[in-house]
Structure 1
């Protein structure tokens, strides 16, 4: 039976731990990377009985298994880099028995791997030290979509938040979070980057570099601010990942269809050429290859916006586009807010403008092939920061960035030795309140944090609205508030990802604002006395410690 028909769980999938000669000038014209020192005359492939062996005509020779479609060898300048623990490089956790074919079209060699709902493609271009990859997934038979490049141990330095030593470090959570003797924590999850923040990941020794240049993620899910594992390294080997749908901390439904190209490439230690980046990559050479689902430049459109009105100069703005079939985003220009997004598949998209990571405007836009959709200035009317307040803790930006430990949490576990204590009562008006207030609150760790504040007699004579903004939650954790002797009702849990997030480097879920209408009878009538706001996490589920029910804060304020 084909393995794709098995009902695979996320843990099972994720835990299983062209013939001819092309001139040098033609390869350069392709705009796809640096040439190796070897002669392009060697470009071609052969069948060794078990693998298709592809010589790029540069310094890279790679092999693709004829039975599984795994990459079984990546030899750069005669040195083997691929594989560890008896496993090779592949889509998902390996497809198993597959139909694998190879052919050459001009200066391109194309390998096609078919296994049920997944088709994987590899392409080599004459004279380049790159492998171009596409993944076409038709349904949810596999519960995740990733490609992992497995690298032999000892090829590159094991450094960074995503590196650990299993002979020395101790597992502290779920088999994939480690603590070193110095108290720092490490995990493959701790990339510290959002999708919008990077074009490539990889390793270098200074004299040899192995890189994975990401695709445009148009068929991925999670949007521009999604965080996921990008690489790992340890004493057992290293890995580079193209994550397209991981199933962890996901805020969107999975998209299906062709994703790519993404690129695995070698250099002599330097970063990969910017000509490989998805916004720069010339893929016209792929138009005639017959890749299922491929849509070339002529079949795509563009959106161009004049600008944004109502921006806060302290923040970067991003314009996102999403429908059930594709997602895109573009950075808005500082000052004007002008934006442009090219290479979009035809269709109607929800347009969302983000102040940092907070949605402050939504609309709709339709894209047509070969055309530019021009938009007039968009007025931003959804920023909660414009409301008049008595006090505000943090700022409305869709992140916990102003709060204690927030930045560390994108590349470390909450128990990390570098983290400040998670307790953090604050007094409004004392200075540096936000920096003293914990970014996260857990039922079993720091529940019951207090905020002290004074009101004038006039303010205390009226009812006020208290807003508590959150960015994510674990195990349906949500805040219930107590103001002096007044206790709020238990709020309804909003929709949030149902996997780990706060302990795996991500605070990104579905931004939500809890609104509490506090009556005038709740306040202290003596203006010299402090009112006490208490925040408790409520939930009917969750484990213990940092896996108990919890939430991440965006902003808390009391409206005037």
Structure 2
């Protein structure tokens, strides 16, 4: 059976998948491949190593630079657009490329400077397993891109665009004629929210199943481009270090496997997902830096007390060499994180995306480190502080504020965005939904919040807190209350790249505190006090690229 190149392409939306969503589609994976008369093995066509998986997939890897030069599934070529191949980084130079077969596995090794990259094929599977070992900063980013021929998977998702769209920012953010915006950056998802990304059309699914990201940077809440589609073709990404919105240094060492998977149109098998995938077949391949299951350990916690059950909690462990995470059970906070390299890690409990507890934990090969119930101190959660009023709850995200959900898949100028201006009245019932998730120096600086105080409240000094999740160009809030004005706060450490306009609010959570003296308040309890929030910075450009910041919560403490 071939891939029917004459069949009309059906428009289908892409999928960012989870294990739960794909459970019913498990048989679309390696256990249910199409029959093929071809034998498993490889050959040399002079320029490429040609691998036949013995199922429905034949692929080629350049002997010169390690590029994936051909990706044929059911007789249809999927690889390539614009004369470019699929490859690690932006393509490597002249490399040392070798191939060998070990039983039912074929391994291609690529060496370029201090980078090592590997492709593996398994007999009877329509999958390509990939590892990347980056030893230093000689290559800036760490990504693999699968370039896909045009016309095979057309759609109109947030991360797609056409040449009829107008460019509105940095040659990678576009506006359609109807005012909606598109960009390869608009993935909607954090790393922890997806297991695979790709397309399905015409009875064929092409997917990138991510690795466990143990050597990536940014943690479970990191957002980056995952996929794009344009008039000249599409791209699927495994992003390990991209340099945008990074909150920590990059990690080095062997990362993988991540998997290029073809199916009969369904989701990839859940057996390929991070946390589920087992690769005992790779234990004997001799890949430098590879650590099998027996060389890894586990961290488990019996529970977490002091949680606010209205929020999801995540537990992460990280050091300079590796990172891992897992969800805490809603009922009691139990968690288990497996497949961990031996070492000592900082363990962090997150309420939403806000760190509320940290400790140290050590992991040994083959062992399970069991932690007694973790108690979150009341003072570690800013929501526990008594407040006269509070806008939004503290959870490390701008969720709930005006336009917050849209901003993970659209530009702030998008026609679907509500007005970024507008003032807020405490007690109106719409304080959070009326407050914009982002503030910019050149767009909506000077936002006003109206509130009343009792006589007793007005007779005392109070602390005002503004929590932020990231900032662009050192944008930070300076406040004024009636006739009193705060000092300009120092900027916290934040990523130095675009964020608010390319689908990410993720930076370093920071709380600004302002000691407002009693003399600042109005003594007439029937009048509204006026809080003015300005964005200040000596950096930035104009409009949505002026200095800005993303808001988590604002409150006036008792």
Does 2:84 correspond to 1:97? no
Does 2:413 correspond to 1:415? yes
Give the match's secondary structure for 2:407: helix
Query: What's the offset of the Cα at 1:206?
Result: 4.5
Give the match's secondary structure for 2:417: coil
Contact residue 196 and residue 207 of structure 2 kept, 8 A:
yes
1:513 counterpart residue number: 511
1:260 counterpart residue number: 256
Does 2:285 correspond to 1:292? no
Distance across 1 between alignment mates of 2:219 and 2:73: 34
Contact residue 32 and residue 281 of structure 1 kept, 8 A:
no
Query: What's the offset of the Cα at 1:158?
Result: 2.4
Distance across 2 between alignment mates of 1:272 and 1:85: 27
Deviations 1:62-116 (A, max 9, x none): 0000001000000000000000001000000001211000000110000000000
Query: What's the offset of the Cα at 1:361?
Result: 0.4
Aligned length: 529
Query: Superposition pairs for residues 38-437 of structure 1, below 5 Å?
Result: 38-39=35-36, 42-166=39-163, 168-381=164-377, 382-437=380-435
Query: What's the offset of the Cα at 1:335?
Result: 1.6
Distance across 2 between alignment mates of 1:159 and 1:132: 29
Contact residue 352 and residue 360 of structure 1 kept, 8 A:
yes
Deviations 1:416-448 (A, max 9, x none): 000000002100001111001000000000110
Give the match's secondary structure for 2:131: strand
Give the match's secondary structure for 1:285: helix
Contact residue 477 and residue 535 of structure 2 kept, 8 A:
yes
Cα 1:206–1:315 change in 2 (3 A) is farther
Does 2:447 correspond to 1:456? no
Unaligned runs of 5+ in 2: 1-27
Distance across 1 between alignment mates of 2:387 and 2:30: 54
1:529 counterpart residue number: 527
Contact residue 40 and residue 127 of structure 1 kept, 8 A:
no
Query: What's the offset of the Cα at 1:35?
Result: 4.0
Deviations 1:214-271 (A, max 9, x none): 0000000000000000000010110000000000000010000000000001011101
Distance across 1 between alignment mates of 2:348 and 2:502: 26
Query: What's the offset of the Cα at 1:34?
Result: 3.3
Distance across 2 between alignment mates of 1:389 and 1:447: 25
Query: What's the offset of the Cα at 1:32?
Result: 7.1
Contact residue 159 and residue 182 of structure 2 kept, 8 A:
yes
Q: Which runs of 4+ in 1 moved over 3 A?
A: none
Distance across 2 between alignment mates of 1:347 and 1:247: 26
Give the match's secondary structure for 1:353: strand
Distance across 2 between alignment mates of 1:263 and 1:433: 45
Give the match's secondary structure for 1:311: coil
Q: Normalising to structure 2: TM-score of the pair?
A: 0.94
Distance across 2 between alignment mates of 1:39 and 1:59: 6
Deviations 1:387-430 (A, max 9, x none): 00000001100000010000000000000000000002100001
Distance across 2 between alignment mates of 1:48 and 1:461: 85
Give the match's secondary structure for 1:164: coil
1:3 counterpart residue number: none
RMSD: 1.0
Deviations 1:343-377 (A, max 9, x none): 00000000000001000101110001010000000
Give the match's secondary structure for 2:271: helix
Give the match's secondary structure for 2:217: coil
Q: Normalising to structure 1: TM-score of the pair?
A: 0.94
Contact residue 354 and residue 396 of structure 2 kept, 8 A:
yes
Give the match's secondary structure for 1:385: helix
Distance across 1 between alignment mates of 2:291 and 2:74: 34
Contact residue 71 and residue 90 of structure 1 kept, 8 A:
yes
Query: What's the offset of the Cα at 1:157?
Result: 1.9
Distance across 2 between alignment mates of 1:213 and 1:198: 9
Contact residue 32 and residue 282 of structure 1 kept, 8 A:
no
Distance across 1 between alignment mates of 2:366 and 2:302: 20
Distance across 2 between alignment mates of 1:278 and 1:515: 40
1:543 counterpart residue number: 541
Distance across 2 between alignment mates of 1:443 and 1:36: 56
Unaligned runs of 5+ in 1: 1-30
Contact residue 29 and residue 263 of structure 2 kept, 8 A:
no
Contact residue 38 and residue 52 of structure 2 kept, 8 A:
no
